[in-house]
Structure 1
Amino acid sequence: MENIKKIFILFVCLMMLGFLVPKNTYAETVSVEDILEAMPAEEIIAVECSTGQVLMEKRSTDVCEISHLAKLMLALLAAEKIESGELSLTDTVTVSAKANSMPAPQIWLDKNEKITVEELIKAITISNANDAAVALAEYIYSSTDEAVAKMNCKAKSLCMDSTTYADVCGLDDRTRSDAADTAILASELVKYDILTPYFTSWIDHVRGGKAELVNLNRLVRTYKGITGMKACSSATAGECSVATAKRGKMEIAVVVLKCSDRTLCDDIAKKLLDMCFDVYSLYTPEISEDMLKKIPVVLGEESKVSVGFGELSAVIVPKGSSESFDISFDKEKELSAPVKKGQVCGKLVCRYGNQVIYSADLVAENGVKEKDFSFCLKILLNYLLKF
Structure 2
Amino acid sequence: MLNKFCLILSISIIFCSIIPAFAAEEAKLITAPAGVLMEAQTGKILYENNPHEQRPCASVTKVMTLLLVFEAIDSGKLSLDTTITASEHAASMGGSDIWLEPGETMSADDMIKATVVASANDAAVALAEQVSGSEESFVEQMNNRAKELGMKDTVFKNCNGLDEDGHITSAYDVAVMSRELIKHEKIFDYTSVWIDYLRGGKTQLVNTNKLLKTYKGITGLKTGTTDDAGCCISATATRDGMSLIGVVLGCDNGKQRFADAAALLDYGFANYSVKELSIPEDMPVNIGVDNGMESSVGIKCDVNSGFVTGKASADEITSTLDLPESLEAPVEEGQIIGKLSFEANGEKRDFQITAAGNVEPITFGGVFKTALNSLLAL
Asked if 2 retains the 8 angstrom alpha-carbon contact of 1:342 and 1:365, the reply is: no
**CA distance in 1: counterparts of 2:271 and 2:306, whole angstroms:** 16
**Map of 1:164 onto structure 2:** 155
Structure 2 alignment gaps of length 5 or more: 1-17
Q: CA deviation at 1:72?
A: 1.9
Supply the RMSD in Å over aligned alpha carbons. 3.3
Aligned length: 354
**Map of 1:46 onto structure 2:** 37
Residue of 98, 103, 118 corresponding to 2:109: 118
Alignment of 1:230-245 (within 5 A): 230-245=222-237
1:216 and 2:185 matched: no
Percent pairwise identity: 33
**Map of 1:316 onto structure 2:** 308
Q: Specify whether residues 83 and 66 from structure 1 end up closer, same or farther in structure 2 by C-alpha distance, changes over 3 A only.
A: same
Q: Deviations over 1:47-69 (max 9, x none)?
A: 12222111111111111111111
Asked if 2 retains the 8 angstrom alpha-carbon contact of 1:292 and 1:308, the reply is: no
Structure 1 alignment gaps of length 5 or more: 1-25
Asked if 1 retains the 8 angstrom alpha-carbon contact of 2:307 and 2:344, the reply is: no
**TM-score between the two structures when normalised by the length of structure 1:** 0.78
Asked if 1 retains the 8 angstrom alpha-carbon contact of 2:279 and 2:303, the reply is: no
**Map of 1:292 onto structure 2:** 284
Which amino acid in 2 is paired with 1:123?
A
Alignment of 1:54-93 (within 5 A): 54-93=45-84
Asked if 1 retains the 8 angstrom alpha-carbon contact of 2:277 and 2:307, the reply is: no
Asked if 1 retains the 8 angstrom alpha-carbon contact of 2:197 and 2:203, the reply is: yes
Q: Specify whether residues 251 and 303 from structure 1 end up closer, same or farther in structure 2 by C-alpha distance, changes over 3 A only.
A: same
Q: CA deviation at 1:38?
A: 6.3
Asked if 1 retains the 8 angstrom alpha-carbon contact of 2:118 and 2:208, the reply is: yes
Q: Deviations over 1:69-111 (max 9, x none)?
A: 1222222222222333332333333332222322222222223
Residue of 272, 292, 295 corresponding to 1:280: 272
Alignment of 1:331-346 (within 5 A): 334-335=325-326, 337=328, 341-344=335-338
Secondary structure at the aligned position of 1:63 is classed as coil
Asked if 1 retains the 8 angstrom alpha-carbon contact of 2:34 and 2:51, the reply is: yes
Asked if 1 retains the 8 angstrom alpha-carbon contact of 2:29 and 2:260, the reply is: no
Q: CA deviation at 1:356?
A: 5.4
**Map of 2:179 onto structure 1:** 187
Which amino acid in 2 is paired with 1:83?
D
Asked if 2 retains the 8 angstrom alpha-carbon contact of 1:300 and 1:370, the reply is: yes
**Map of 1:149 onto structure 2:** 140
Residue of 85, 91, 96 corresponding to 1:94: 85
**Map of 2:7 onto structure 1:** none
Asked if 2 retains the 8 angstrom alpha-carbon contact of 1:108 and 1:211, the reply is: no
**CA distance in 1: counterparts of 2:94 and 2:323, whole angstroms:** 68
**Map of 1:9 onto structure 2:** none
**CA distance in 2: counterparts of 1:357 and 1:304, whole angstroms:** 30
Which amino acid in 1 is paired with 2:326?
L
Higher mean alpha-carbon deviation, 307-316 vs 42-51, is at 307-316
**CA distance in 2: counterparts of 1:154 and 1:96, whole angstroms:** 25
**Map of 1:250 onto structure 2:** 242
**CA distance in 1: counterparts of 2:204 and 2:340, whole angstroms:** 57
Secondary structure at the aligned position of 2:156 is classed as coil
**CA distance in 2: counterparts of 1:92 and 1:376, whole angstroms:** 59
